[in-house]
Structure 1
Amino acid sequence: MPVPPEGTPCWADAMFTDLEGAKAFYGDVLGWTFGESSSEYGDYTQAYSDGKAVAAIVPPMPGQDGDTVTSAWCLYLASPDAAATAEKIRGNGGEVLMGPMQVGEFGTMVIAKDPGGVVFGVWQGGTHEGFEKQAATGAYTWAELVTREPGPADAFFPAVFPYTVQRMDAGDVDYKIFQVGGAPALGRMKAGPDDLPPEAPNYISVYFAVDDCDATVAKVTGRGGKLYFGPMDSPFGKFAAVGDPQGAAFGVIDLGTTVGDMPAMVAE
Structure 2
Amino acid sequence: MTEAAGATRRTPGTPCWVSLMVHSLGSTEDFYTDLFGWEYAPGPAQLGPYVRALLDGHEVAGMGEMPPDRQLPVAWTTYLATDDADATAEAIRACGGTVAVGPLDAGAAGRVAICSDPAGAIFGIWQAEGHMGTRTSGGTGTPVWNELITQDTLTVGKFYETVFGHDCETADAPDLDHLTLHLEGRPVASVHGVGRALPRERGAHWMTFFEVADPDAAVRRVVELGGRVIDAPYDGPLGRLALVADPEGAVFTLVRQNPPAS
Counterpart of 2:252?
Answer: 250
Q: Does 1:93 align with 2:93?
A: no
**Would you say 1:34 and 2:40 are equivalent positions?**
yes
Q: Does the Cα contact within 8 Å between 1:17 and 1:69 map onto a contact in 2?
A: no
Is the contact between residue 142 and residue 186 of structure 1 (CA under 8 Å) also seen in structure 2? yes
Q: Is the 8 A contact 1:208 1:251 kept in 2?
A: yes
- The total of aligned residue pairs comes to 256
- For 2:218, the equivalent position in structure 1 comes to 216
Secondary structure of the structure 2 residue equivalent to 1:233 = strand
| Sequence identity (%) | 35
Report SS of the residue matched to 1:105. Answer: helix
Distance (whole Å) between structure 1 residues aligned to residue 82 and residue 216 of structure 2: 36
CA distance in 2, matches of 1:73, 1:2: 24
Alignment of 1:159-174 (within 5 A): 159-174=162-177
Measured in 1, the distance between the counterparts of 2:117 and 2:44 equals 30
- Tell me which residue corresponds to 1:157: 160
SS, match of residue 169 in structure 1: coil
How far apart, in 2, do the equivalents of 1:38 and 1:100 lie?
A: 15
Deviations 1:16-51 (A, max 9, x none): 111111111111111211124655530210101122
Q: 2:209–2:254: 8 Å Cα contact kept in structure 1?
A: yes
Output the CA distance in 1 between the equivalents of 2:235 and 2:259: 8
Corresponding residue of 1:108: 111
From 71, 82, 86, the counterpart of 1:83: 86
Q: Which runs of 5+ in 1 are unaligned?
A: 263-268
Secondary structure class of the residue paired with 2:236? coil
- Give yes or no for contact 1:146–1:191 (8 Å, CA) kept in 2: yes
2:15 partner amino acid: P
**Matched-pair contact (CA < 8 Å) for 1:107–1:128:** yes
| Partner Cα distance (1:212, 1:86) in 2 | 39
1:134 deviates by: 2.4
Q: How does 1:59-70 map to 2 (within 5 A)?
A: 59-61=65-67, 65-66=69-70, 68-70=71-73
Query: 1:35 aligns to what SS in structure 2?
Result: strand
Match of 2:13 in 1: 7
Residues 165-195 of structure 1 deviation map (CA, whole Å, 9 limit, x = unaligned): 101224522111111001111110012444x
CA contact (8 A) 2:20 2:76 kept: yes
Instruction: State the alpha-carbon separation in 2 of the partners of residues 176 and 37 from structure 1.
Output: 34
Match of 2:49 among 31, 40, 43: 43
Equivalent-residue separation in structure 2 for 1:113 and 1:234 (angstroms): 28
TM-score of the superposed pair, with normalisation by structure 1 = 0.90
Greater mean deviation of Cα atoms: 242-251 or 127-136: 127-136
The 1:137/1:171 distance shift into structure 2, 3 A limit, reads: farther
Distance 1:39 1:82, change over 3 A: closer
SS at match of 2:171: strand
Partner of 1:136: 139
Q: Mind listing any 5+ residue stretches in structure 2 that lack a counterpart?
A: 1-6
SS of structure 1 residue aligned to 2:179: strand
* Displacement of 1:69: 2.3
User: What is the root-mean-square deviation of aligned Cα atoms in Å?
Assistant: 1.9
Worse-superposed segment, 232-241 or 87-96: 232-241
Q: Which amino acid aligns with 1:35?
A: A
Task: Confirm or deny: 8 A CA contact 1:73 1:250 kept in the other structure.
Answer: yes
Check whether the contact 1:99–1:109 (CA below 8 A) recurs between aligned residues: yes
TM-score of the aligned structures, taking structure 2 as reference length: 0.92
Shift in Å, 1:87 = 0.6
Closer/same/farther in 2, CA of residues 256 and 155 from structure 1, 3 Å limit: closer
Match of 2:31 in 1: 25
The residue number in structure 2 matching 1:265 is none
Following superposition, the deviation at residue 256 of structure 1 comes to: 4.8
Report if aligned partners of 1:116, 1:149 keep a CA contact under 8 Å in 2.
no
Q: Within 2, Cα distance between the matches of 1:241 and 1:103?
A: 31
Q: C-alpha distance in 2, partners of 1:256/1:219? A: 22
Q: Give the match's secondary structure for 1:158.
A: helix
Report what 2:3 is aligned to: none
What code does the residue aligned with 1:230 have? A
CA distance in 2, matches of 1:201, 1:30: 27
Aligned 8 A contact 1:144 1:188 in 2: yes
Q: Structure 1's 2 and 185: CA in aligned 2 closer, same or farther, altered over 3 A?
A: same
Q: 1:125 maps to which residue?
A: 128
